[in-house]
Amino acid sequence: MIGEWFWKIADPLLLRLRSRLEHLDDVRPSTRREDALRQAGAIAPTVRLLPEGSLSNLAARDRLAIGDYTNVRGEVRVLTPDASIRIGRDCYIGPQTRIWAADGITIGDYVLIAHGVDILDHDSHSLRADQRREEARDLFERRVEIDFTHVSMRRIVIEDDVWIGAKSTILKGVHIGRGAIVSAGTMVTKDVEAFTLVAGNPMRVVRQLEP
Reported as a single tens digit per residue, the pLDDT across 10-19 is 555 555 555 5
Ordered by where they begin, the domains of the chain are 4-208 (2.160.10.10)
Highest mean pLDDT among 1-10, 88-97, 137-146: 88-97
Q: Give dist(CA 167, CA 97) in Å, integer.
A: 8
Which element (helix H / strand E) includes 23? helix 12-26
- 45 pLDDT band (50/70/90 cuts)? very high
Edge-to-edge strands, sheet with 163-164: 48-49, 71-72, 92-93, 112-113, 163-164, 181-182, 196-199, 204-208
Half-sphere exposure of 181 (CA within 13 A, CB side): 9
Q: Is 43 helix (H, G, I), strand (E, B) or coil?
A: strand
pTM of the model: 0.83
CA dihedral 122→125→129→130, nearest 10 degrees, is 110
Q: For strand 204-208 and strand 196-199, is the pairing parallel, antiparallel, or unpaired?
A: antiparallel
Per-residue pLDDT reduced to its tens digit, 77-136: 999 999 999 999 999 999 999 999 999 999 999 999 999 999 999 999 999 999 999 989
Residue 26 has pLDDT above 50, yes or no: no
Active site positions, annotated = 125
52-66 confidence digits (pLDDT tens): 999 999 999 999 999
Q: What is the pLDDT of residue 167?
A: 98
Task: Give the whole-angstrom CA distance, residue 88 versus residue 108.
Answer: 5
